[in-house]
Amino acid sequence: SGPEAELLTCKGGFVLETREDDQSGTPLSWQQLNALDLNYAPPTGAIAGTGPGEMVSIRRGSGANSMPTMPVAATTPAATAQPANSANPDELQYLRIEYRRGFRGNMNQRLVTFDNQILAVAGGVAGWADRLDSAKPELLGPRGMVLNTDQLVVAESPNRDPRFPQRASMELQAIGNVKIEGAQFTGLGYRLTYAQDKDQLVLEGDGRNDAELYSQQAAGAPRSRAAAGRLMFYPGTNRVDVEGGR
């Protein structure tokens, strides 16, 4: 084989589509990334692109790879369908991120940052062709969520579940004007972190204003409010832990 390219550049719009299977051929993940321009350096894994654009990822459970990998593989999803609301290790996890300005990161480190007017939707789906509607957070199930923020960092870490060592766990960090909505909660703050394998949201204020969380135990039940410098929320159980409340 010839020498590896130092820099790959795409201009005028592109779509990067990839998939990953396990050793038995069972699908683990499918991803699609589109943007106006792309610069990718294979030797280092550095990647950057300009928007507007979006990334879509579907993974099995705490599945392999939220983010596209190189090289491109051709596979195309089918029509949309209704989302599933159950949670189990083999449930398909859906993530879509819309961004305005661009993205940057490192494919080898499994880390990408999206900038400017971020809209993200995440949750479980029943099939590879299914999609979630960010306009209807009430239909996303107990672990589904819609996120608006100024900046979003998507990272992957090793899965702590010994049953699925080949799969990765997703982590999100949102910074600036954070609003997150689920079927039974709404959170507001300056910074948010989400760890998929812990089923944990951490919402923080900016030092002057508290983070706020409005939650209810069931649809139609009264909503309770918590406000503090730091709130920890577990969507699967609706548990709220408060630090620095006033």
* Amino acid, res. 43: P
The distance between the two most distant Cα atoms of the chain, rounded to a whole number of Å, is 65
Instruction: Say what the pLDDT of residue 122 is.
Output: 92
**Mean pLDDT computed over 30-52:** 92
Single out the residue of 56, 121, 126, 58 nearest to residue 87, CA to CA.
Answer: 126
Single pTM value for the model: 0.81
The predicted structure's pLDDT at residue 153: 96
Q: How far is CA 51 from CA 77, 87, 149, 179, in A?
A: 22, 33, 16, 22
**pLDDT band with cut points at 50, 70 and 90 for residue 139:** confident
Split at pLDDT 50, 70, 90, the class of 65 is: very low
Which phi and psi angles does 57 have, rounded to 5°? -135, 135
> Residue 93 is which amino acid?
Q
